[in-house]
Amino acid sequence: MLQKFPAFAGVKGPVVVIVMDGYGIPKHEVGSAIDAARKPTLDRLFAECPNIRLRAHGTAVGMPSDDDMGNSEVGHNAIGAGQVYAQGAALVANAIAEGVIWQGEAWQQIVAGAKAGANGKAGVLHFIGLFSDGNVHSHIDHLKAMVVRAKEEGVATVRIHALLDGRDVPETSALDYVVPFEAFLQDISRDGFDARIASGGGRQTITMDRYDANWPMVARGWRTHVLGEGPQFANATEAVH
């Protein structure tokens, strides 16, 4: 729990929390839209009222490391919490490191289903999610850990549906993740184990509709991931090229 700020006794009456997405305090005035803007109310508040600068990224807001940027979701989770607690990606990383995730009912059910198969056919374990190391909503190392664990637990076939990022990581950076990951899959796919990227697409282009309730986008994902419709490629690297 954070310690009370000793120089401020508090205020009487209600406290209003105002969230201004995109506002930051720059290190330098040159090139800063914040400093160049006319904002008399904010300038007065900074000049006359108690204030303190807070870090909005990294371990200060529960991200795994100080190299991880914050975003609006991270900030909204942290504001008013009164303590630093692990955010989503950190929670998953901790659960993997401690082995807790493998004991969960969900993991055990999907592994058992993949091993048992259905209708006389061998089972397949499918993974779908954001494919990057952005560490806000996901991290590619989590996926690697699950693929490795699936093999260790006797799953024979894994198929991955990779939703490329370009938001929490640089645009056009897909190959930085696809190429080494396919090398990882090739290396682990032996001794009766077969893991491949089966389908994919770009974030906010297919499946991952965060803002607009864009059902055609979701439908494209369904047709691609479930029905296997769309252009065919030998591998994900070729598809990106």
Q: Enumerate the active-site residues.
A: 72
Q: What is the DSSP track for 22-91?
A: T----S-STT-HHHHS--HHHHHHHHHS-------SGGGGT-SSTTS---HHHHHHHTT-SS----HHHH
Cα–Cα separations (whole angstroms), residue 119 to 35, 116, 123, 219: 66, 10, 10, 27
Encode 62-73 in three state secondary structure.
CCCCCCCCCCHH
